[in-house]
Amino acid sequence: MTFVLRALWGARPPVSTILLPGVVSTVFVHHNGDGHGGAHTVAAGSQKMRDDQRYHMDQLGWSDIGYTYGFDQAGNVYEGRGWHVVGAHTEGFNRTSYAFVA
């Protein structure tokens, strides 16, 4: 298992960052319809993270990738927005939760 920081997967800088107002009470696990979990290497997982970020920012107009962290089938973990940052993953729950995508 490898922990892949944003700089290592080639993340673009966020347009803006909002810190969570307190402790989160919920965790969401999302399944990416394009088979995010299908990646078996850091190179493939990094590409999927870049693709997700590009879609979230360029198509949806979000400030960054929506998820807190991502995972691939090899067990590698990819830093998304990271801890203590409001996500854009589950409408109505972004300020009280973290979200992971597999």
**pLDDT tens digits, residue range 5-28?**
999 999 999 999 999 998 999 999
pLDDT at 50 over 80: yes
**How far apart, in whole angstroms, are the C-alpha atoms of residue 74 and residue 85?**
26
**How far apart, in whole angstroms, are the C-alpha atoms of residue 10 and residue 53?**
10
**How far apart, in whole angstroms, are the C-alpha atoms of residue 16 and residue 61?**
12
Helix (H) or strand (E) holding 9: helix 6-9
**How far apart, in whole angstroms, are the C-alpha atoms of residue 42 and residue 33?**
19
Model-wide pTM > 0.85: yes
How many of the other CB atoms lie within 10 Å of CB of 18?
14
